[in-house]
Amino acid sequence: MTASALPETCPAPEVTARLWVRLGHAVYLGPSLGLDAHSTAIPSLGVGVDAPFRVGVAAAPDITTRSFLFRARVTHHLVESRGTMLFCFFDPTSARLSRCLGGMTRTAGAYPYAHRREDELVERCRAPEPDIEGLLEAASIPLPTLRDDRIAATAAAIRADPAGPHRASDSAHVVGLSTSYFLRTFAAQTGTSFRRYVQWARMVRVARSFAAGHDMTRAAIDAGFASPSHFSDTFRAMFGLTPTAFTRIGGELRIIDR
């Protein structure tokens, strides 16, 4: 594992939040922050380490729970939360850990909550140095492998070169599919849209650039974002806060390499 804190122009504050990033997964552990309403590129599991939290969702009453499955591309809002929160973000097509979030025991409309290993996840988060692989394993259940090799090849190509000019029409042509069919199939088998998947792969590349010592501007451009502001907007859309806000709370970014 290599680790690097996000660069600062002022003395670094005490670390109060940590974000671990690996190809295919991210784990956040830190203050609840009262995140604004946002949607994520991929599914994530939220766990209240210190206390239950309340989630605002569309077309349903607020849900108060200790764990909640935030679905991809669905806007949600942490209406009320206290203390430390855990968020596990998963790439459904990862070859290293082909698991997705699951094991939820209750639902309210279309919103799953109450993870069956909730107590174990809370205890793991209280360790001085949490076992990230153990957290990911406890948070997930097996996913079927991708049924279409053409979609799997496209997803692998995006992960290998996220900064490339990935266009759905070009990718569809390469694998011999119409653009409309390709987009539907890609979303159905990866759990997120083609555009969002590219954004996720680029976010991982940014994390690697940070770990290599590059500043935010260089990292964002190297990863394929059009500008630092584009990166900042995407970061906020995925994680609910800006990179600047993350550094202000003493956030530390860690890269997991295997």
Q: At what angle do helices 132-139 and 118-125 cross, to 10 degrees?
A: 170
Mean pLDDT (the chain) is 80
Maximum separation of any 2 CA atoms in the chain, in Å = 53
The end-to-end CA distance of the chain, in Å, is: 7
pLDDT tens-digit series, residues 122-133: 999 999 899 988
Phi, psi values for residue 193, rounded to 5°: -75, 165
0.75 exceeded by pTM: no
Q: What is the pLDDT of residue 184?
A: 92
Of the listed ranges 33-42, 81-90, 206-215, 228-237, the one predicted with least confidence: 33-42
Average the pLDDT over 60-85 and give the result. 88
Considering the segment(s) 2-144+240-255 as one domain, its CATH architecture is: Sandwich (2.60)
More confident residue, 96 or 60: 60
Phi, psi values for residue 5, rounded to 5°: -80, 150
- Residue 257: which pLDDT band, with cuts at 50, 70 and 90? low
Q: What is the pLDDT of residue 93?
A: 54
Element spanning 147, H or E: none
Of the listed ranges 20-34, 137-151, 202-216, the one predicted with least confidence: 137-151
| CA dihedral sign of residues 53, 76, 155, 218 | negative
Whether pLDDT at 98 is above 50: no
Whether pLDDT at 192 is above 80: no
- Residue 96: which pLDDT band, with cuts at 50, 70 and 90? very low
User: Percent of the chain, pLDDT > 90?
Assistant: 29
Whether pLDDT at 91 is above 60: yes
CB atoms within 10 A of CB 145: 10
Q: What is the pLDDT of residue 111?
A: 87
pLDDT tens-digit series, residues 161-184: 999 999 999 999 999 999 999 999
